[in-house]
Structure formats: C-alpha cells, structure tokens
C-alpha cells in the first residue's frame, strides 16, 4: 500500500513538472526571454564573425519592431527599430574578446498583455586585454506578441551601487 502511494505521488509530481515545462506561464516565458537575451549578448572567446552576426540578429528578434532604449553611458535614448538594435548589439558585442552576461533577481509585474521587469545584469569579460566586470540594474517593458511570446518594448540600464 505504501509503495502504491509513493508511485502515485511520483506520477503526480512528474505530470506537474511536465505541464510546467511544456506549458509555461507568462512569468516563466518572460524569464526565458531574459535568459535568451543574456545568452545572445554573451560572446565566447574566438567567436567567428558569422556567429556574431547571428547572435546579434537573435537579440533584435527579442524586441518589438520599435522599442525604446535608454542607456545613458552609451548615449542611447530613443526609439530604435530591429535593424538598429541588431547593429547596436553587434557593436556592443564586438567591444569584447570574451563576454559572459547573466540576468538575476528578476522581479516581474504582469498586467494582462504588458509586463514590467527589474533585474540585475552581470557582465564579465575581456575588452582591450583587460578584465571587465560590471553590474547594472535593468528596467524593461515587455508586450505579448502575436504568437503568445513576450517581446521587449522598452529597455533601460540603471547603475547599481557597488559595495
């Protein structure tokens, strides 16, 4: 009897995990977009030019056709289309010989087809032969796309105080 109960509990747990994996909720989809963004923004050492172009294009596909970007340190403030975002992503990535980006501590606020997210972004890499380590707070707005995916409509970096 105890074995039967354990098998039933394990089967129920497996069903729940499978449903969550194959049918993620909106918050999980938004978190996945940040994981994708960090992955595409990262640059492995020795990356080929074509691979860099593909990753920059993948970054731009995570955004709406027009998105507001505000990165004061880079002099960016305004509306940018996907082609401009691809160019910006390529220029940013090309500054580094190696770059690892990670988004953590996401706070998601959902309102029907819109989401507001704050996150901490950590970037570690090599630029100009020197090791670079930066931490920034990100504020992003996302909108539900046509295919029930979430696309960035606004994106801003806010400096985080270092301890």
**Higher pLDDT pick, 162 / 72:** 72
- Is 126:132 a contact under the CB 8 Å cutoff? yes
For residue 109, the surrounding DSSP H or E stretch is strand 98-111
**Higher pLDDT pick, 20 / 155:** 155
Q: Count CA atoms within 13 Å of residue 144 on its CB side.
A: 10
Domain ranges of the chain: 25-159
3-state helix, strand, coil in the chain (%, to 5): 40, 40, 15
Q: For the domain 25-159, what is the CATH code?
A: 3.10.450.50
Cα–Cα distance between 7 and 118 in angstroms, integer? Answer: 41
What digits encode the pLDDT tens for the residues 125-161? 999 899 999 999 999 999 998 888 999 999 998 865 5
**Res 86: pLDDT:** 96
pTM of the model: 0.81
């Amino acid at each position: 009897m105890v074995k039967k109960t354990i098998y039933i509990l394990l089967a129920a747990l497996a069903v729940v995990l499978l449903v969550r994996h194959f049918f993620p909720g909106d918050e999980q989809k938004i978190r996945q977009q940040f994981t994708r963004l960090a992955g595409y923004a990262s640059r492995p050492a020795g990356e080929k030019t074509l691979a860099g172009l593909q990753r920059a294009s993948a970054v731009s596909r995570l955004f709406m056709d027009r998105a507001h970007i505000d990165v004061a340190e880079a002099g960016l403030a305004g509306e940018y289309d996907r082609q401009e975002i691809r160019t910006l992503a390529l220029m940013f990535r090309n500054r580094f010989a190696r770059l690892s980006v990670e988004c953590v501590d996401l706070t998601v606020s959902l309102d029907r087809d819109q989401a507001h997210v704050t996150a901490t972004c950590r970037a570690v890499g090599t630029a100009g032969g020197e090791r670079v380590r930066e931490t920034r707070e990100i504020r992003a707005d996302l909108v539900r796309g046509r295919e029930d995916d979430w696309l960035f409509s606004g994106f801003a970096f806010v400096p985080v105080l270092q301890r």
